[in-house]
Amino acid sequence: MTFQEVIDFAGRHAMLALAFAGLTLALIYTEIARLFRPYTALSPAQLTALVNREDAVVVDLSASGDFEKGHIAGSRNVQASALGPEHKLLAVAKERPVVVVCRSGQASADAAAKLKKAGFTRVHWLDGGIAAWQQAGLPLVKGRG
């Protein structure tokens, strides 16, 4: 396929060409934003290693009912609205690694950015959330924790 054929196709199918261009720009933006985010994404294996080696604080933003149904051992349930440097769990952990998790990984990414902005030096988030943890075959603990 030549460049001229691509241009001709785009001229005949303007909506498809615009959709393709829009998706391409969205992917580029997402990847650039990922490179410059101030926190680190962790896989379930990396989270396990960080907890074992450096006593990371794991903060689970799940609703309390979901937290009780299953959470990472040692994690503490904190509601996203209460998350901040003044929270008693986090106030003593400013220099320790802090890992924020949620069910899907979306809310925890936003919370990780908030903690980094608040002055926490070692902020991480579990990429894919509890769902990724379960897909990796790792256990969850039931109850209040």
pTM of the entire predicted model: 0.73
Region of 74 (left: φ > 0; alpha: ψ -120 to 50; beta: rest) is left
- pLDDT tens figures, 6-37: 889 889 999 999 999 999 999 888 778 766 77
Checking if the pLDDT of 106 tops 90, the result is no
Please report which helix (H) or strand (E) contains residue 123, including its range.
strand 123-126
Q: Rounded to an integer, what distance in angstroms lies between the CA atom of residue 45 and that of residue 28?
A: 27
Checking if the pLDDT of 119 tops 90, the result is no
- Does the annotation mark 141 as catalytic? no
Given the residues 57, 98, 100, 102, the one annotated as active site: 102
From the centroid of its chain, how far is CA 33? Answer: 13
Q: How confident is the model at residue 104 (pLDDT cuts 50, 70, 90)?
A: confident
Which has the closest alpha carbon to 38: 108, 92, 117?
Answer: 117
